[in-house]
Amino acid sequence: MSGKTKNSVELYSRALDVIPGGVNSPVRAFRSVGGDPLFIKSGAGARLTDEDGNSYIDYCMSWGPLILGHADPDVVEAVRNTALLGTSFGAPNRMEVEIAEMVSERVPSIEKVRFVNSGTEAVMSAVRLARGYTGRDRIIKFDGCYHGHADYLLVAAGSGLATLGAPDSAGVTKNNASDTIVLPFNDPQRLEDALKKEQGMVAAIILEPVPCNYGLILPEKGYLEEARRLCDRFEVLLIFDEVITGFRLAPGGAQAYYNVLPDITTLGKIIGGGLPVGAYGAGADIMSRVAPEGAVYQAGTLSGNPLAMAAGIAALRKLDSLKAWQILRERSEKFRSYLEPVISKYEGRLLFTRLESIFTFTFTGKGRISSLEDVKEADMKLFAEFHREMLKRGVYLSPSGFEVGFLSTAHGDDDLAKTASAVEESLREIM
């Protein structure tokens, strides 16, 4: 760890001249953790190397897609071999069928699926489909959940908006957001009251079954089941945004993990193996409304492109062959066992929350995070100091206290042990 960042600094200054904020996605700008973003040259397994040759154990993992680690050899080979045959045809390709079959076999509520190019596109399409299917306009989202940057969902959102301290976005017209109702997560009574009050006007509720964009908020026991029951009672569609949890918590995502089936599911990240992919799926009846079969229009030049499909197929196949979720559970348990003795010294000041291979460090006196308020009270300044100290010690955490960390099958015991030591030294430094 030379700690030198000369090349990153130079690249950032050039980037600022030609890219807003010097980044192609706001949360990468290190705004809430301070300092300038590092420019990454390469990744391999659990490690990143920046333009100055500094190497880091990475837990941002490109915000979730890289469940197999960086530059997984099987994924890279699939992309290389496919590229030699062409990168996009704008016509159907066998791999679109193969990956659609894989998704439909694994995700319990999905019979048919449409591939798009990002999680945002998947969610936009899912909401339009819900509105088209029900003929209703209103949608209910939950405070702190982030569903990409479609106008009407940039309301009380998490992720980069929370990081920048602006839960809503400029440029979203009042009209556009007027059909979006925001409720607190983990509060079934508020959901029932809203569905009663808005009876007959709500097309769907959309939620991250496990919110991962405002820290890691675990669903209270029975909450997801109650949301399902309320949607059935008020004949409202339930959309699970599984862009993060899909293929992460279990082969069938959160809906399999918690055994609660939504009407529509959105996917992204992992299913693209690191290439731009999103998807939305549902039962055949609902998906029959999507053009060209039905009247809900959605399209995309590069949707289902061979490269992204090949990467996704290679990733999903490898997850199955590795029985990756068992490995990830063991890694997560090992990580906790390494961290326990360190973090227990700071009980009442630091909380380590994890769910399978997702985790967060939250500087709070609370023993559990179950609402947005709990996260709002956390000390994000201390997180910023922690992030900086960890970087100095060669550990790259997601550059925001509102984001989560991810383990991959490429994180070995040595990486986890080294990380626990870096946590211990960093905490000693800042606490």
Q: Which residues are catalytic?
A: 146, 241, 269
DSSP class per residue in 30-53: -TTT-SPPPPEEEEEBTEEEETTS
Is the distance from CB of 50 to CB of 261 less than 8 angstroms?
no
- Tell me which residue of 255, 222, 218 sits closest to 353, measured CA to CA: 218
Please name the residues in contact with 284: beta carbons below 8 A apart, sequence gap of 6 or more: 111, 112
Separation in Å, CA 270 to CA 63, 180, 208: 10, 28, 16
Q: Which neighbouring-strand residues pair with 425?
A: none
Q: Is 147 in the site for ligand KE4 (CB under 6 A)?
A: yes
CB of 182 to ligand KE4, least distance (A): 16
Q: How many residues form the binding site for ligand KE4 (CB under 6 A)?
A: 20
Q: Is 120 in the site for ligand KE4 (CB under 6 A)?
A: yes
Is the distance from CB of 146 to CB of 182 less than 8 angstroms?
no
Is the distance from CB of 279 to CB of 113 less than 8 angstroms?
yes
Q: Which stretch binds ligand KE4 (CB under 6 A): 99-107, 144-152, 181-189, 380-388?
A: 144-152
Nearer to ligand KE4, 45 or 119 (CB): 119
Nearer to ligand KE4, 146 or 258 (CB): 146
Query: What's the CA gap between 381 and 237, in Å, rounded?
Result: 39
Query: What's the CA gap between 51 and 231, in Å, rounded?
Result: 50
**Of 63, 185, 214, 247, the one binding ligand KE4 by CB under 6 A:** 63
CB of 121 to ligand KE4, least distance (A): 7
Q: Is 393 in the site for ligand KE4 (CB under 6 A)?
A: no
**Of 8, 82, 118, 265, the one binding ligand KE4 by CB under 6 A:** 118
**Of 58, 187, 208, 263, the one binding ligand KE4 by CB under 6 A:** 208
Q: Give residue number: closest CB to ligand KE4.
A: 119
Q: Is 146 in the site for ligand KE4 (CB under 6 A)?
A: yes
Q: Is 50 in the site for ligand KE4 (CB under 6 A)?
A: no
Residues lying near ligand KE4 in the complex (CB under 6 A): 25, 27, 63, 118-120, 123, 146-148, 159-160, 208, 213, 241, 243-244, 268, 278, 403
